[in-house]
Amino acid sequence: MLELLAAGDLEVTGRVLGASNTTLLARVALGERSLACVYKPVAGEAPLWDFPDGTLAGREVAAALVSSAAGWGVVPPTVLRDGELGLGSVQAWVGPGPEVGPGGARGGRAGAPEPGAGVIDVVPPSRVPPGWLTVVQGEGYRGEAVSLVHADDPALARMAAFDAVANNADRKGGHVLRGLDGGLYGVDHGLTFHEDPKLRTVLWGWAGRPLPEDVVALLEATAAALDGELADLLPGLITEDELLAAELRVERLLARRRFPTPPPGGRALPWPPF
């Protein structure tokens, strides 16, 4: 699949409306093989006050490399390549095939499941599904009481731990999708790998709890990969300081063997959460 994404002919077929950065629906074709994908050109990245300009596509690819090398299975296959609007990240489509109308796709990836993939939701406190974890309680648009909740799901817990490694500053509910294989996948990893602590996520339900053994094994594999093959692949996508910071985050997680907790008085949730 990586060969197809990297070397296939890339044709833009539509645009995701409402995205803060230019997000294009596309298809790559190589011989008889073709694949729906998402193309995010560097030229379409909006400037941010806390991330260097023109680096989001590289961070998307860095997240995919870490996910693949250590066996997290969180990020769909992603490459950095040229397209119609220049260099950008190209990521395999997750979920049902895109259905693009005359105005483009609205509300995220067209044809994809509802935001939150059935495992993240905002509900009245009296309607929290059994076994789900409450992240925070607040008020809805009409002043009604609501709770941000998510399932106590092992795949989602692995995603929460991966986000701690990648220092994901933007894990919204709409960035969690369910693939056709039934697995949970995370998308939109442009705001990752900053050297300063910036973890903002809707997956705080396990905060402070012990890490499951499978997560500990993945962290050990990540530490080995960062000291091995990723040491050659990540430079150029993120800085040396950002790579060192990622290594230190993994070391701390392995030493503490617990999910991180929100910083006191800091911004811990992305906005909006969906």
Cα radius of gyration (the chain)? 18
Tell me, what's the pLDDT at 264? 83
Q: What's the confidence (pLDDT) of residue 248?
A: 98
Residues of the chain with pLDDT under 50: 100-113
The pLDDT assigned to 115 comes to: 63
Helix extents (H) in the chain: 2-7, 56-70, 154-166, 213-226, 230-233, 240-256
Q: Where are the domains of the chain?
A: 2-115+151-256, 120-150
Helices 213-226, 154-166: axis angle to 10 degrees equals 30
Furthest CA-CA distance within the chain: 55
Alpha carbon separation from 76 to 73, 239, 260 (Å, rounded)? 8, 23, 24
Phi and psi at residue 196, to the nearest 5°: -90, 150
The rounded distance, in Å, linking the Cα atoms of 179 and 20 is: 24
Cα distances (angstroms) measured from residue 66 to each of 61, 154, 204, 245? 9, 19, 21, 14
Distance CA 205, CA 200 (A): 13
DSSP state, residue 154? H
Confidence (pLDDT) at 140: 82
pTM of the predicted structure, to 2 decimals: 0.92
- The CB-side HSE value for 212 (13 A sphere, CA atoms) comes to 15
Beta bridge partners of 86: 83
